[in-house]
Amino acid sequence: MLDLRPNCECCNKDLPPDSTDAKICSFECTFCNDCATDILKGRCANCGGELVARPRRSMEKLANNPAMTERVFKQNGCKPPA
Ligand SMILES: [Zn+2]
Ligand SMILES: [Zn+2]
């Protein structure tokens, strides 16, 4: 199952499961649209993979398949991949 992480790894912005502002890589590293576009230029800060729009999970599915609550956040901000 896809991890639905609760926040952007770069700026700690909240990204709820129904957000249209979330981008993920194939490893489910999660960023907001602003960081993904302006800072990372569409590439994951961790693995260099492409960032795509995260699909949303409907509320009825969330009841049995809840989003993750553990926040992943880089204290020092993030940089585009080398
Ligand atoms: Zn962000
Ligand atoms: Zn990644």
For 34-73, what is each residue's pLDDT tens digit?
999 999 999 999 999 999 999 999 999 999 999 999 999 9
Write out pLDDT tens, residues 6-29: 999 999 999 999 999 999 999 999
- Ion ligand 2, residue ranges at CB < 5 A: 25, 27, 29, 44, 46-47, 49
pTM over 0.75: yes
Ligand nearest to the CA of 32: 1
* Structure confidence at residue 16 (pLDDT): 96
- In the sheet that holds 22-24, the strands lie side by side as 30-32, 22-24, 52-53
Q: Quick check: 77 pLDDT over 90?
A: no
Confidence at residue 81, expressed as pLDDT on a 0 to 100 scale:
86
